[in-house]
Structure 1
Amino acid sequence: MSLTQTLDTRSARDGSARPEAARPSTSRRRRPRAIPAAVLGLGFPTFLVVLWWAAARAGLLPEQILPAPQAILETFLGLVGDGTLATHLKISTERVLIGFGIGAVGGLAFGAAAGLSPTFRAFFYPPVQAVARVNVLAWMPLLTLFMGIDEPLKYVVIAWSAAIPVILGTARGIEAVSPAFRELGQALQFDTRDTLRLIVLPGAVPSIFAGLREGLANAWQTLVLAELFASFEGLGYLMTWGRQLFQLDLVIVAMIVVAIAGLAMDLLLRAVERRAQPWKKGTADVH
């Protein structure tokens, strides 16, 4: 009898000798249901809103400092009813999508070149790292001299702020691909296209999407500041208008809409990331 057959016989004998009572019962040892992440994420904001409402109702927060939640809700419904909020949200969203699209495409191309070509990386990557240390808003006065305060300025600063993390994430992701995988591709006689498609890209996808998500967050932050600086439309302008009129409820409504819109886009990008990594879903199902 072979060694494998001997081990199989002993395993079967041990399994049959085990009493039924000693075997774990799946029905008795059910795991407690985990609380959904969405519920946990809403817990703390809900607590803050309840605390805010209670403090305003007790008169602890003057309306000149922080309006009550009821006033915020009334302002929100009024802006939705007359179409003002939809107009400004549409303009801001278009600016973010255009600026982020330009920055993402340029950042992916530049980051891929830096990650794949050591010569390109040696020449051009250090200046990008230096520019990344300076906030794009510091360049706005200089850019305004050449571009004015019209739409091209907003697209440029949004694209700039979005491109930096995309470049860094893409270059780092490609560089971090294990040399062992590249050697495996050479052993399998992969050409350049197959190496990029089957080895480099799957290994760099997590870092690439991390850069894209950070770039999208930067795009929204830069949009609001750009509209505060030079705009007569958009959510950032709505904040400026409310501050000038001392209508803090208008400012808070615009802030909440910016946060919700940014979160919605981030969730959409997360969904795209999951679709781009089907192997992660399979691994999660196994575990």
Structure 2
Amino acid sequence: MSAPNRSLYCLPLLALALVACQRDVPPAPTQSAEGAPAPVEHVQPIDQAPAELKDVVEMDPKFIVGISYPPEANKYPGLAAELHRYAQAARDELMEAVRGAELQPGTMYDLSLNFSTLVDTPDMLAIAADGSSYTGGAHDSPLIERFVWLVREQKLLTAEELVGNAGDWKAISGYVREQLHAALSQRIDADELEPDERSRLMRSAGKMIDEGSSPDVANYQQFEPILGAGGKLSGLRFVFPPYQVGPYSDGVQTVDVPAQVLLPHIAPAYRALFVAG
């Protein structure tokens, strides 16, 4: 991903933005009034699950961490624990890189992770996790995760539970693949390429689409509820991270699948969540 596109994954935190723009310039330690280095700032370290999720900022000469949570997540301790677990895993991976940072002197590692509320109804709370982690290499690694919490059941709704039959995934996959190919064609047409180059890109990118949207439940783990009338769902938005259905430069891609396409394939226990007809 090019440097300008990295902003898609950054939190709107000034400190993180400065680090992103000055990746290879290690910050000088700040000085206290006595001239000694000021202590590293740690706001709510996340080594242990907190009683309440709060935003996290950790700053060090080798790394910076910024994590933000929506207040709604604290309504359900089970969901809060899932969000914390995901954030902690991302932080653990960053710290592994930091421990080997002497191998790449002058590199600043960073983790930027934003949890935001997508849907908040009496039936469900859907949270999106978007961000990036730099642990070395040419560019950041995107962090993309979706959490759909069922309030009455007090559990996460998973793709495996939502659509349990392989044949049903085949039908959904066919719809998703058609939408992705159509979007690819529009992007390539907009570039006004020569016929040979257009054909080459259609083949290479089309192959990524076919592989990344195949009827395997593993390809559909990340989805967002689309809220319709009366608090019911009018469809689902499937989210595909970079590399899954296109090159890194294409970023995150999504496909909206309407309820009328989904309903014949949704497990009976969850059909009442959707708008019928």
Which category describes the TM-score, using the shorter chain as reference length?
under 0.3
* TM-score of the aligned structures, taking structure 2 as reference length: 0.26
* TM-score of the aligned structures, taking structure 1 as reference length: 0.25
Kindly indicate which of the two structures has a greater share of residues assigned to helix: 1
